[in-house]
Amino acid sequence: MSRHRDDVQKLQSQLGNLRQQVGVLEGNLGALRTANARYADEAAQARNQRDQLALSLTNAAAKQKVSTAKRTAKSTADPRKRSGPVGKSPRTKKL
């Protein structure tokens, strides 16, 4: 009977140790879940900022292309500009 009691005591001690380990591990798991959720939020915010920046850069590049195209069209459509050599004005003869 004494041996049985000793075995029960050992098992109860082991059970207590294991329950404490489970508690520690559950606490660690909770902390990791919290950190993971925070990192996931930060990653989502970073992706949104990246996407907004990419969109801004794309829009800026498109505006610059339109502006350059308008200037090019304006300069080629200007009737005052000639593509050939500059003509000389006639000189008057001195007597």
SS (H, E, C) 71-94: HHHHHHHCCCCCCCCCCCCCCCCC
Q: According to the model, what pLDDT value does residue 83 have?
A: 58
Q: Which of these, 73, 92, 89, lies nearest to 81 by C-alpha position?
A: 73
Condensed to tens digits (0 to 9), the pLDDT of residues 9-66 reads 999 999 999 999 999 999 999 999 999 999 999 999 999 999 999 999 999 888 888 7
Q: How far is CA 35 from the centre of its chain?
A: 20
Q: According to the model, what pLDDT value does residue 27 have?
A: 98
Q: How does DSSP classify residue 95? A: -
